[in-house]
Amino acid sequence: MIILFSVNLGWLPASGIGGIQYYILPALAGSSNAVSAQARQARSAMLEVIRSDYITTARSKGVSERNVIYRHALPNAIMPMITIAGTRFGHMLGGTLIMETIFGIPGVGSYIISAVNSRDYPVVQGGVIFLAIAFGFTMLLVDLLYAFIDPRIKAQYASQRQRGKRNA
């Protein structure tokens, strides 16, 4: 991407930090794999849900195609997409180490790489712990989104809360 967009075409800067144009190439390079995987997952999840019996039933009842997609198919197909998005975010966190080094962006990734090169083990350990905590919070957010989107999960937590009040 650097050779094409920076060297040959001269559209974007190859490295450094400055305005928004300096972040276009790193953002595209870091997210292209995740976006393509997310698109494949979304397509396969929607195709699987569209073939379900309740979608056929909703269409036979005369529900508009828009409502079939947005009210019946999408809520059921979005769960695996949220899971993939959360794990892909973790992969992108790991990829920032390389992206920041390649594109000359000062950040946690380039700081960890320079610490590895200078054998500064406490900094490497702290950076890895920081990235692990960030990934842990991302997965917590994914679980909270599950409870927000899926009414069955909400009902499960509500029934556990009711049991806890009765036992207390």
8-61 confidence digits (pLDDT tens): 777 777 777 777 777 888 888 888 888 888 888 888 888 888 888 888 888 888
What pLDDT shows up at residue 102? 82
CA 130/CA 137 separation, integer angstroms? 11
- The single-letter code of the amino acid at 33 is N
Question: How many residues are there in the chain?
Answer: 168
CA 46/CA 2 separation, integer angstroms? 35
Taking alpha carbons only, the member of 73, 75, 79, 28 closest to residue 54 is: 73
Residue 72 CB-half CA count within 13 A = 21
The model's pTM is 0.67
Provide CB contacts within 8 A for 148, sequence distance 6+.
Answer: 154
